[in-house]
Amino acid sequence: MTKRTKKKDVYNLLFGRISTNIADSLFYMAILWHFKEVSRSPFIVSIIFAVASGIDMISFGFGPLIDRISIKKLLESSTFLQAAISVITFLILYLRIDNLIISIILITLYIVSTILSAIIYPAEYKLLPLFVSEKELLRFNGIFQLTYRVLDLLLDAGVTVIITLTSIPITVVLSAIVFATALKFYGSLKINLAAKEFLEEDEYFTGSYRKDMALGWKTLRKEKNILELILPIAFTNFFYGIFSVGLPYFAQSYIRDSALGYGTLLFTSSLGSIGGTLLVQRFKIGKKDMQIFIAICFLGAGIFRVLVPISIYLNIWVLLVASAISSMWITMMNTNFEALVQTSFSSSILGRVETINDSILSAMIPIGTLVGGWIIKVSGSLMTQYIYGAALLLSAVYYFLILKDKKQKMFLTMK
């Protein structure tokens, strides 16, 4: 595979990801708006919100599938099914039949589409190291993150405008068209024989689904440096769950008494994330330096996150800037961590490792959101913001203590 072909494949992968992301947003918002405006069922709307985090929690089960099946065929077949689901959903919505059975069918279609996305994203992640060198991996991870953040910025408001100007069924049709566009990009990927053999190394496959999944976990456990980084971040995500459920209430109380306040806070946080993806390109962090980098990122994010609730007594602009800078630090940490995982494992097993990571990191968030709801009732939304900021600072202290302990052990060994 020539260097030029590899670069072309990287951009086909990137544009495929962009198309999938846009189509996902169109489909998700159309389904959400349907149940919010047509069915008027808060219970069903809460199910829609819960599906994504729930599927992330069980994503470890998709790992052997991602590693076992031809990666190009997996991307093509998953995207084709998503396009077909959008077409079926359009037909159902166009008939304007509203009853319990139709609601169950629509939710089932949404769940299946979300599962397919949970398969597609790690599959893309697995392919990237084949198309770029280890030196370029951080830069391209940053580009992927940047496009993702920019799209988030535009789609949050853009999809609601599309629904308002057209209709929910038309929005679903648009999602089918964009899924078809993604399919075209994935179909253009060129994976040569050497790459296929690399993706299918015998040592990472046992012939058994359960054993393949267990092998993914054993492989992750061998990389103790990675595991040492994952578990504390997963614990911090419990407090992120508390923070995220409190954020709209905090925005409504202290920024603006409408959805615009929440939107403004999300917008500035997204700008900070975009800044993080650009800034992280200047750092070249290896395995040895990753812990200190994460500690610094947690420290920076924690200081500015604590400053956010404090800023309600100062100035709204200080609050928004502090929120953006906190998000910038978190994004820099996540982007570097992704590159570290990609360079630490063979692409043959990367699908399993990545989905196990996602499951571990996502497991604590739903629990945190439940606790966050209780904290809002007892102490108010301001407390949820302080708790998350304090958790980030404690995580930084934890990593600094680990580093100090390692240095002391090295010093004693040298003696």
Q: Is residue 211 part of a domain?
A: no
C-alpha 30/C-alpha 36 separation (Å) is 10
Cα–Cα nearest to 369, from 388, 350, 342: 388
Shared-domain flag, residues 135 and 103 = yes
Q: Last residue of a domain, which of 200, 233, 252?
A: 200
Per residue in 257-302, pLDDT (tens digit) is 655 677 678 778 878 888 887 787 776 666 667 778 888 999 999 9
Shared-domain flag, residues 168 and 293 = no
CA 34 vs CA 143, 169, 171, 373: distances in Å: 34, 9, 11, 25
Asked if residues 357 and 230 have their Cβ atoms less than 8 Å apart, the reply is yes
pLDDT at res. 284: 67
pTM for the whole thing?
0.66
pLDDT at res. 392: 93
Shared-domain flag, residues 295 and 344 = yes
Shared-domain flag, residues 175 and 323 = no
Q: Last residue of a domain, which of 174, 200, 226?
A: 200
98: region left, alpha or beta (phi > 0 left; psi from -120 to 50 alpha):
beta
CATH number of 19's domain: 1.20.1250.20
pLDDT at res. 329: 92
Shared-domain flag, residues 222 and 285 = yes
Per residue in 46-63, pLDDT (tens digit) is 566 666 667 777 777 777
Return the SS3 of 41: coil
Please state the length of the chain.
415
> Which segments of 280-364 does DSSP mark as H helices, in order?
287-310, 316-344, 347-363
Could you say which residues of the chain have pLDDT below 50?
42, 193-195, 197-199, 202
pLDDT at res. 302: 94
Q: Last residue of a domain, which of 169, 200, 231?
A: 200
C-alpha 127/C-alpha 351 separation (Å) is 9
C-alpha 343/C-alpha 178 separation (Å) is 31
Q: How wide is the angle at C-alpha 17 spanned by C-alphas 13 and 23, nearest 5°?
A: 145
Domain that residue 174 falls in: 3-200
Shared-domain flag, residues 289 and 192 = no
pLDDT at res. 213: 72
pLDDT at res. 193: 45
Shared-domain flag, residues 120 and 245 = no
Asked if residues 245 and 373 have their Cβ atoms less than 8 Å apart, the reply is yes
Shared-domain flag, residues 41 and 74 = yes
Return the SS3 of 328: helix
Shared-domain flag, residues 245 and 381 = yes
**DSSP annotation string for 231-266:** HHHHHHHHHHHHHHHHHHHHHHHHT-SSHHHHHHHH
Asked if residues 156 and 266 have their Cβ atoms less than 8 Å apart, the reply is yes
